[in-house]
Amino acid sequence: MPTKSNNTGGRGGARPGAGRKKSAVKEKAENGNPGGRRLEVLDIPEVEGVDMPKPHEFLSAEQRDGSTLQAEEIYTETWEWLKKVGCAAKVSPQLLERYAMCSARWIQCEEMTNRMGFLSKHPTTQKPIPSPFINIGINYMNQAVRLWNEIFQIVKENCSTDYCFPNKLEDILVLIDAQKQDPDGANAFYYLGNLWYDKLQYDQAISCWETAAEKKPGFAITWRNLSLAYYNKRKDPEKAKAALEKAAELAPNDARIFLELDQLYRKLEMPVAERLSRYEKAKEIFMQRDDLMIEYVTLLNLSGHYKEAYDFIMAHRFHPWEGGEGKVTTQYTTSLLELGKAEIAKEHWSEAKEILEKALVYPENLGEGKLEGTKDNHIHYYLGLAKEHLGENEAAKEEYEAASIGTDEPAGMMYYNDQPADMIYYQGLAKEKLGLPVEAKSRYYRLLDYGERHLYDKMRVEYFAVSLPDFMIFDDDLDKRNKTHCYYLMGLGYLGLGDKEKAAEAFRNAMQLDPTHLNAGRYLKMVEE
């Protein structure tokens, strides 16, 4: 009788896994093919780098309405992305086709819902019912998401380290162990630095990144990360500058690093002319991003190249992004306003009128319209001057009245939708034109009073109130920004009251704190002329 201990014979035979352990293929090869079996070397073709598998024709089939199914486009775009991350050979064409077809059908359902509405009619009762395209679209959407998850899982398991993002607490122990296993490797130190920084452990992060930079000095992003940490956490701008310049040297075509280095140069008060020259030498880089193009336009306006700024803006289509609202429209208005003022100075009243009227309308290529409540007091004031000299007295009065409206209470400098301070200054000028000198002076004194009372305020910002007006790459000195703003307001107040000497002093104080303060520079120039 077989027993539990020997389990030979009887029912079931040998237990699963019993007997001698099988040798690994690698071990067999090292032992010289024991058993003497015939071995064949398979001719496996190189898959990476080959052309994309041709998609089936049904992915681009003509639809009943005469349109073309978009599945082939989705197939191609997905394959190109997979090729970019080194995983094109890992995903079967059949999986890609299913994903592309589901995505295309989902898009079709959305288009039909938009075209026909959310409600349909019951075929029997004719009563309103939800459109069948809604449920069909949801079904296709779910299938597309499931298939995409399959594709992305393959990518996560096979792609390069560029797409590795450790983010969990347990990853810390894994990376520490990886450092022990490969003390000469840089990746584990780099990734752990990222993770420490995310968990607010800044000293550990810096230490890991410094080690990674020693072991792999040619990796630009490590130096970029060190720069941000040196500036924002160690308060060491010189080390930050050296690190970011190293990153830019290693990745000369990286537009993000170019932007960040430019913003650091701005923090370190590099002259505007030097920053502009850097842009002029790197057009192929800054043309990759809207924020860089707008910064370039800003530098043109700061340098007094208003025609070049305007021409550049009109030659491109911009796309708004969160935190960038109002930037390109401000530069558009600034360039035209200054061009209009230049024509006024030459007493070319008709030309000035034409230019200033353009400034009141945002062209489509700016990518954003006017916010509700936007005031153009400065434009209306100068339009009033132009029309007055053209003998259009009634129209001029209307422009001055338009220039006189808006809040007369100065605001801070935190958010992009705060009314610009100089709108109050132009309210005052317009009130003077309308024969209301007392009301005009009240505006000037309010500007002066606000600047004097808030000059030494301690500032803080609510990051999620509304979008902030500037890039938040490097920590900002909010107290310094506030002091700059207050000097600017005081300059406007003195300018309105006719004290040009004190106005110039206030504007110079503002420019000393922030050499890139566009308006302070413009009004200082106005005073000194």
Long-range contacts of residues 329-334, Cβ cutoff 8 Å, at least 24 apart: 329/362, 329/366, 329/368, 329/370, 331/294, 331/297, 331/298, 331/301, 332/359, 332/362, 332/363, 332/366, 333/359, 333/376, 333/379, 334/301, 334/306, 334/309, 334/518, 334/522
pLDDT digits (tens, 9 = 90+) for 381-437: 999 999 999 999 999 999 999 999 988 888 766 555 567 888 999 999 999 999 999
Widest pairwise Cα distance in the chain: 124
pLDDT computed for residue 119 by the predictor = 67
The confidence score (pLDDT) of residue 465 equals 44
**Complete DSSP assignment for 438-497:** HHHHHHHHHHHHHHHHHTT------TTTS--SS--SS---HHHHHHHHHHHHHHHHHHHT
pLDDT, residue 315, reads 95
Q: Which amino acid is at 523?
A: Y
Identify the pLDDT of residue 413: 60
Span 318-370, pLDDT tens digits: 987 766 788 899 999 999 999 999 999 999 999 999 999 999 999 999 998 88
User: Is 129's pLDDT higher than 50?
Assistant: yes
